[in-house]
Amino acid sequence: MEPVYTLADLDTWSHRGTALAVLGHPIKHSISPPMHNAALAVMAQDHPTYGDWRYFRFDVPPADLPLALNRLHAAGFHGLNLTVPHKVLACDTIAHVDPSARPIGAVNTLRRTTNGWHGFNTDGYGLATAVTETLGIQISGTPVILLGAGGAARGAAVECLARGCASLHIANRTAANRDALLTALAPLAGDIPLHGFAPAEPPADLPVGALLINATSAGLHPEDPLPIDLAALPTPAGVYDMIYNPAESALLAQARERGLPHANGLSMLIHQGARALEIWTDTPVPVDAMRQAVQAAL
Ligand code: NDP
């Protein structure tokens, strides 16, 4: 497995080729390095220039993010991914936030420019591509029930509205966070019905045949409560859980028991990564190699 680096390692940085990295805190769980390095190895077969590209991971505490972004730019890094807790923090720090990422207020992919970093958000693309690939559902025209009101939920909600979902219902444990998200989304919704509800009290008029997306972290640990009880909802068309480790959350186990199409977040991880690599290379990327690498890493 790729070592975990810190900013101190930049003092003696010896990689002479093109460098990419993911920054997070903690970061030791990240499987992005094997995913991207596997793709780069395949790309190097047709384009030898990628033979000296390498993707690293850095543990960067939030207070050090501005320093880290400056130092990695000065050290010549070509692209960065950002994960928890940096996606929102970086928006105030980088030179340019892509217009597509501004409504989300978070960036997960930075591309080097001469003046600094240009930030993108590929999570929404990753989610939409994954939902179509794994569940056969197009978000456009489909009612969506979204669980969560954190960063991942916000990105998912903006993507669903941008793609013209039929309606968007958002449930979250903390009502104040849900309502803040609904307020932020209202200007983006246009004619799309946008509603909130408490996960313990689903309203009777929720749509049948919705795409249910779990964007909460409930399910990461065995003792976590279900983010929602599927038995209390009209039958959804499919259940997508952004969590991929464990591979089957309690929510996905319930979906399986009820015979519902369901998928975990591994496909989203792969497709957000594939889009990031396309942004850095302007080249089509080998998604299957990325999939094999993350499956092996897990
Ligand atoms: P945040 O910390 O920003 O938000 C966490 C959300 O989960 C909040 O809505 C919070 O509710 C809710 N929550 C946390 N614990 C519980 C619980 N015990 N019961 C019910 N709700 C709970 O995290 P992110 O939005 O960044 O990430 C959310 C999930 O999405 C994580 O599991 C993350 O791993 C996953 N993810 C997966 C990706 C992929 O590529 N597959 C990409 C990005 C994220 P409250 O407001 O009440 O605190």
3-state secondary structure 242-292: CCCCCCCCHHHHHHHHCCCCEECCHHHHHHHHHHHHHHHHCCCCCHHHHHH
| In contact, 241 and 224? CB cutoff 8 Å | no
Q: 83: annotated binding-site residue?
A: yes
Question: Torsion angle, CA of 89/90/94/99, rounded to 10 degrees?
Answer: -100
All structural domains of the chain, each given as residue ranges with its CATH number in brackets, are 4-121+270-297 (3.40.50.10860), 137-260 (3.40.50.720)
In a mutational test of the pocket of ligand 1, which residue from 181, 216, 272 has the highest number of ligand atoms less than 8 Å from its CB? Answer: 216
Q: How open is the CA angle 89-90-96, to the nearest 5 degrees?
A: 140
Atom of ligand 1 nearest to the CA of 269: 40
pLDDT 10s digit of each residue in the chain, 298 long?
789 999 999 999 999 999 999 999 999 999 999 999 999 999 999 999 999 999 999 999 999 999 999 999 999 999 999 999 999 999 999 999 999 999 999 999 999 999 999 999 999 999 999 999 999 999 999 999 999 998 899 999 999 999 999 999 999 999 999 999 999 999 999 999 999 999 999 999 999 999 999 999 999 999 999 999 999 999 999 999 999 999 999 999 999 999 999 999 999 999 999 999 999 999 999 999 999 999 999 9
What digits encode the pLDDT tens for the residues 264-289? 999 999 999 999 999 999 999 999 99
What digits encode the pLDDT tens for the residues 140-164? 999 999 999 988 999 999 999 999 9
**Residue in the block written with tokens 């936030």:** 97
| In contact, 223 and 199? CB cutoff 8 Å | no
State pTM to two decimals: 0.96
Find the radius of gyration of the CA atoms of the chain. 19
HSE of 189, CA atoms in CB hemisphere, 13 A:
19
Q: Which pair of structure tokens corresponds to residue 295?
A: 């499956």
Q: 108: annotated binding-site residue?
A: yes
Atom of ligand 1 nearest to the CA of 173: 47
| Ligand 1 midpoint to CA 220 (Å) | 9
Q: Catalytic positions, please?
A: 87
The whole-number pLDDT of residue 2 equals 82
Q: DSSP H helical segments within 75-199, as ranges? A: 86-89, 123-135, 151-162, 175-189
